[in-house]
Amino acid sequence: MIPQLINTNNKILGSLNDCTRLYVTEERNGIYEAEFDIPVNCSMHNKIKIGHFIYAKPDDLSENQKFRIYKRIYNPIDKTTVFYCEHIRYKLAGIPVAPKTYSGTPSSILSEMLTSVKSSTEFTAWSDISAVKDIKMDIPSTAGAMLAGQEGSLLDTFGGEYKFDNYTVKLYQNRGQEKKTEIRYRKNLTGFTCTEDTTSTYTHVYPYYRNEDGVYVELDSKVITLGNAWKLPFENCYMLDLSAEFDTPPTKSQLQAKANTFIRANDLDTVSRHYKVSFVPLWQTNEYKNIAVLERCGLCDTVSIVHDNETVKAKIIKTVYDALNERYVSMELGNATSSFAQTVQQSVRQVNRTINNTKSFLQQSIERQTKRITGNRGGYVVMNDDNQDGYPDEILIMNDLAIGSATKLWRANLSGIGYSSHGYTGPFELAMTMDGEINASMITTGSLDASIIRTGVLNADLIKAGKIQDVAGKNYWNMTTGEFHLSGDTINSNLSQQNIFNILTNNGQTQGIYLQNGKLYLNATYMNTGALDAGLITTGILNADRIRTGTIQDTAGNTSINLTNGIIKTNLENGMKMKLSTTGLLISDTNDNILAQVYADENAHSSIRAYGIVADNFLRIGAAFLEANGTALKTNTLQCNVLAEINKLKFSYVYDAQNNNYKELEFKRISVVNADTGNTELIRILVQKE
């Protein structure tokens, strides 16, 4: 049978003609999965996606079933991809079921469960079991868990054997039949193994109870002897902890009854026998075609195994079916220990143990304390007038009405609240006093807010503190300032006081991340990162896709780029500095005095200011230019505003092209008459030096 590929919208994408292997595995009340191999170079390979479905034949008699692809593994050697699928019934694990008491037959209960949250569902239910029973649910669950796997499930309540026919859930009283099929050596048997396992076989059970107060209960006989113990050539005792089964210490008879219930539900004294056979399905051959109806068998059928003149009847509990060639690959028979109910129940118990183990210390404590306080019975509350003034001045909660006789008591008054197991006068092992002190052997907290915490062992989900330090004060973490201090003598005796914390050392050399003189350093020849966020980065080599920082500078600090204001600074020779900013290019001395400036205003007018300008060829200013080494001194337009500081402008020589020599120039002061005012004014002119 060639499987078909279906997408998530139930559209058929095509047939998987290149499929080289398709095995469907089904266990009695257990797993129901398929796996198939596809060459990577086939036309359909890239169309197969996780979440898609295939239709495959699971056995000789069933219709094609729908399986969801949930995993794939590529084999580069033979260039084949293995796809793993689960039957569509696994979708039941995602259908919620509301808590209530369901009453009726298995089919009516399951139908009601499926629609308890949503008004409709794809799945339908059927059962040949007519018994009417109640299933009480106190908390929400899923339809998958209610089939089997938790206390009070349908399988737990009614028993039976499941058959999943696509979206129809069928619960049979007995899914299979007792067949006349014989699997016999030299007839059809090709492989046979029988496994006997006593790993989980016990001869005795030792039930006991113990609570947090130290109350311990056990049977007078200590242990219970199991029925098949006399048949077994060994002794093995199962330690049965029933502490979680009782809210208050049980009587010995109650402990005995609970232990008996556990023993009846678990075949502790049974040796596990498991058979795995491979055989030729004779009903598919021409020789046996006339008696195929007698020979044909499948999951949950009972068959006979004949070997060495010994006949064993066993139920088929697992089949592996070759859906491409439509024949069985193997069958497993016997009282396998991993039925669906047991497997899922064991998984649930394991999950519960894992959840309990991974619960936070705080949550476990809350549950433990809540159970203790809400389960309280007894005790006396007394309003005590200790100073005999006619008004109660403290509240006593005691295990005895008389103050003098009470041994366990809470005492609350203006000075504080305390608990003592030594009577009214203490000592008080647990106390909270008015001066702000809390004394306890253990504090369990979700949020702890303190300015300083000095502790040996502290367990909390959240601590809010100004400073966390050890008792001696050598090691601390200041949560306000971020200061983190570890004492050198407790971390590494080879580290100095200035270099007190080192993440990585190599032959005594400081490398990696380290603290020194109050600063955190990263000493790395090369750092490669996707995103780096820092106020200041000082580095030799930095490779990053994105850097968010205020300033990048070289190791010596001579060159820097301020990414906030765009200023680039670099040191020139003799301590001079060059800075590129939004106002232009500035050159300054060691005291940051500007020596030269090139800038442009918003109208794109550029200007240069400098004490002296030297040009090898020419200097151009606007439309004017001066040619230094040409044949003549040329100018189109040259305008200069003579400022008060013009004496700082010095010209040594001007080239005389006609006489082929240089003329020395100097400033002369002359008197001129201002035509507008009539006043005589002194001006400076540039003339040839005499």
Q: What's the total number of domains in the chain? A: 4
Q: For residues 210 and 301, state if they share a domain.
A: yes
Q: For residues 201 and 264, state if they share a domain.
A: yes
173-182 burial, b for 16+ CB within 10 Å, e for fewer? eebbeebebb
The region of weakest confidence among 8-12, 126-130, 326-330, 352-356 is 352-356
Q: What are phi and psi of 265, to 5 degrees?
A: -80, -15
For residue 498, count other CB atoms closer than 10 A to its CB: 10
Q: Residue 601: its pLDDT value, please?
A: 63
| Rounded Cα gap, residues 67 and 75, in angstroms | 22
**Is pLDDT at 186 greater than 60 in this prediction?**
no
In a domain, 545, yes or no: yes
In a domain, 201, yes or no: yes
Dihedral of the alpha carbons of 240, 244, 247, 249, in degrees to the nearest 10: 30
Q: For residues 275 and 397, state if they share a domain.
A: no
The region of weakest confidence among 36-45, 345-354, 587-596 is 345-354
**Is pLDDT at 198 greater than 50 in this prediction?**
yes
14-42 burial, b for 16+ CB within 10 Å, e for fewer? eebeebeebbbbbbbbbebbbbbbbeeeb
Per-residue pLDDT, averaged over 656-682, amounts to 79
In a domain, 221, yes or no: yes
In a domain, 119, yes or no: no
Q: For residues 310 and 182, state if they share a domain.
A: yes
Q: Is the pTM of this model over 0.85?
A: no
In tens, the pLDDT along 89-98 reads 999 988 999 9
Helix, strand, or coil here: 344? helix
In a domain, 658, yes or no: yes
Q: Are strands 484-485 and 476-478 parallel, antiparallel or unpaired?
A: antiparallel
Q: For residues 603 and 648, state if they share a domain.
A: no
Q: For residues 372 and 309, state if they share a domain.
A: no
Sign of CA dihedral 293, 299, 300, 302: positive
Q: For residues 221 and 294, state if they share a domain.
A: yes
Q: For residues 257 and 369, state if they share a domain.
A: no
In tens, the pLDDT along 19-58 reads 999 999 999 999 999 999 999 999 899 999 999 999 999 9
Q: For residues 426 and 552, state if they share a domain.
A: no
Tell me which range, 194-198, 304-308, 605-609, 640-644, is most confidently predicted by mean pLDDT: 194-198
Q: Residue 401: its pLDDT value, please?
A: 80
| Rounded Cα gap, residues 140 and 161, in angstroms | 25
In a domain, 83, yes or no: no
Enclosing domain of residue 591: 527-610
Domain boundary among 595, 610, 625: 610
In a domain, 404, yes or no: yes
Do residues 97 and 137 lie in contact, with contact meaning Cβ atoms separated by under 8 Å? Answer: yes
Selection from 314, 304, 310 nearest residue 334 by Cα: 314
Q: For residues 193 and 282, state if they share a domain.
A: yes
Q: Residue 646: its pLDDT value, please?
A: 42
DSSP secondary structure of 608-649: EEES----SSEEEETTEEEESSSSS---S-------TTGGG-
In a domain, 536, yes or no: yes
- Residues linked to residue 313 through DSSP beta bridges, in sequence order: 304
SS3 content of the chain, % helix, strand, coil (to 5): 15, 45, 40
In tens, the pLDDT along 100-130 reads 999 999 999 999 999 888 877 889 999 999 9
Q: For residues 560 and 668, state if they share a domain.
A: no
Selection from 185, 113, 102, 175 nearest residue 144 by Cα: 113
Q: For residues 580 and 669, state if they share a domain.
A: no
In tens, the pLDDT along 443-456 reads 666 656 666 666 65
